[in-house]
Amino acid sequence: MKLLAFGASTSSSSINRTFANYAANSVEGAEVTDLDLNTFDLPIYSEDEDGANGIPHAAHRFKELIEAHDGLVISMAEHNGSYTAAFKNLYDWTSRIDQKVWADKPMLLLATSPGGRGGQTVLEAAAATFPRMGADLLGTFSLPSFQDYFSEEEGITDPALAQEFAAQLNLFAKPLSQAA
Ligand SMILES: Cc1cc2nc3c(=O)[nH]c(=O)nc-3n(C[C@H](O)[C@H](O)[C@H](O)COP(=O)(O)O)c2cc1C
């Protein structure tokens, strides 16, 4: 089963990219593509830019990557209570190709941040709208205080959070493995 994993961030040290990849690699039998949003070079979306030069190749490449995978694991970085500008720009461009950006793919939607709310605000915004944009949203989870509750070696170190994560991961992984 092929999973596409990315953090909705262009930080070279993105904790959300780390977390998305950790989650995707926790799915048994998954072949994970670790996507770096820095590889998408796009002008800032505007209808004028769209009209003058059309949809950039990078947005088509993003759409093709989504379509080529069986499931999506996305971890949302939160900037001022919302999407990072880089993710929103890629998302807006891709929505101009097809409103079903997420191509009806099963999705596990995550968020983490260094703070105690763990990106819950952006996670809620994404969870409320991604299904309208073609996401088959199967699970959501926010990890607060990433630096306190995550380690590369052990994963989620807080037992209650680890249990909640495992339950959401299972909601995503079970139907995928049954379909495989
Ligand atoms: C401009 C800016 C705004 C931020 N706003 C928030 C915020 O609203 N909520 C939050 O939890 N963290 C916020 N942060 C901290 C980010 O959660 C933190 O930088 C995190 O590492 C971002 O995820 P990433 O490492 O995957 O890019 C903000 C950081 C920046 C640079």
Pocket test for ligand 1, best of 78, 83, 88, 147 (most atoms within 8 A of CB): 78
In the structure, what pLDDT confidence band is assigned to residue 31 with cuts at 50, 70 and 90? very high
How far does the centroid of ligand 1 lie from the alpha carbon of residue 18, in Å? Answer: 15
> Is the per-residue pLDDT at 61 higher than 90?
yes
Pocket of ligand 1 (CB under 6 A): 7, 9, 11, 14-16, 77-81, 113-115, 117, 119
| Phi, psi of 67, rounded to the nearest 5 degrees | -65, -25
Between CA 144 and CA 39 the distance in angstroms is: 28
Average pLDDT over residues 76-101: 98
Torsion on CA atoms 134, 136, 142, 143, rounded to nearest 10: -110
CATH architecture of the domain with residue range 2-179: 3-Layer(aba) Sandwich (3.40)
Cβ contact 71:107 at 8 Å: yes
* DSSP letter for each residue of 26-82: TSTT-EEEE--GGG---PPP-HHHHHHH-S-HHHHHHHHHHHTSSEEEEEE--BTTB
Domain chopping of the chain, boundaries: 2-179
Six-digit token string for 98:
């097809």
> Is the per-residue pLDDT at 180 higher than 80?
no
Average pLDDT over residues 121-143: 98
